Amino acid sequence: MRLLEGRTAIVTGSSNGIGNAICDVFAANGASVIGIDAVEGGGEAKTYIADVSNTSECERVWEQISSSYDHIDVLVNCAGITRDAMTRKMTEEQFDQVVAVNLKGVWNLTRLIGPAMQDCGAGSIINISSVVGVYGNIGQSNYAATKAGVIGMTKSWAKEFALKGGGVRVNAVAPGYTMTNMMSTVPEKLLERFRGQTMLGRLAEPEEIANAVLFLASDLSSYVTGEVLHVDGGMRL
């Protein structure tokens, strides 16, 4: 069964890692996939280049997309960055960059696409949070703040976009540590510790996060909204 047959989906952060895996899984399930990323990527999505933290770039890209597609069924806000440092050493720039991409970037596109879905009477929005937004992490106070903020926005939008029969579902996925470029600078000793913190004794593959996103994007989750789905191998930080 192809779960997204005939649906159109936008995925940010589509050129690498988890976003790229989401595009592939969506395409394999029959969706037309539109990617938005700061850099070109291979894979299944037609990619629009934009910086999600830049409000006017997002408006420009949305104008282009909405003139080519009747409606959007699924939005996945996946683009994200880290700028890790202990708080005593963290610069204002490190704090601001992470807030701009991970928090404002999610708002920038959802403020355009959420209301458009509401006007159509249906849609599914999935925001990629993190275990770090739920449990916190040493050296990631900026990142944790944005990922907790994403959960707050998710719950607010689940209420807001359902108003007047809006029919839009909004959920978050909180992945555990997943083998992507984002993890490439983490020392092996720390990766080993992360593995040990999971009940399954290993890190996630991007496809395992993508499959959870597929569930929330599809009608299999038709009565699920305002939720945070933890996909972390039973991790407890």
Catalytic residue IDs: 143
Q: Which stretch binds ligand NAD (CB under 6 A): 11-19, 60-68, 84-92, 158-166?
A: 11-19
What is the rounded distance in angstroms from the CA atom of residue 235 to the CA atom of residue 131? Answer: 8
| Binding test (CB under 6 A) with ligand NAD, winner from 10, 34, 51, 213 | 51
Is position 106 an interface residue for ligand NAD (rule: CB under 6 A)? no
Q: Which of 136, 124, 109 is nearest to 226 (CA)?
A: 124
Q: How far is the CB of 145 from ligand NAD (least distance, A)?
A: 12
Q: Judged by CB under 6 A, which stretch of 36-44, 118-126, 164-172, 210-218 contacts ligand NAD? A: 36-44
Closer Cβ to ligand NAD, 4 or 235, answer by number: 235
53 is a site residue for ligand NAD (CB under 6 A) = yes
CA-wise closest residue to 124 among 65, 168, 159, 160:
168
Q: Which two tokens stand for residue 227?
A: 């939720």
Q: Which residues fall within 8 angstroms of residue 29, CB to CB, at 6 or more apart? A: 2, 3, 4, 5, 214, 218
Half-sphere exposure of 159 (CA within 13 A, CB side): 5
Distance, CA of 237 to CA of 233 (rounded, Å): 12
* CB 237, min distance to ligand NAD, A: 12
Cβ count within 10 A of residue 235: 23
Residues 157-216 that bind ligand NAD (CB under 6 A): 175, 177-178, 180-183
Where on the chain is the footprint of ligand NAD (CB under 6 A)?
Answer: 13, 15-19, 37-39, 51-53, 78-81, 101, 105, 128, 130, 175, 177-178, 180-183
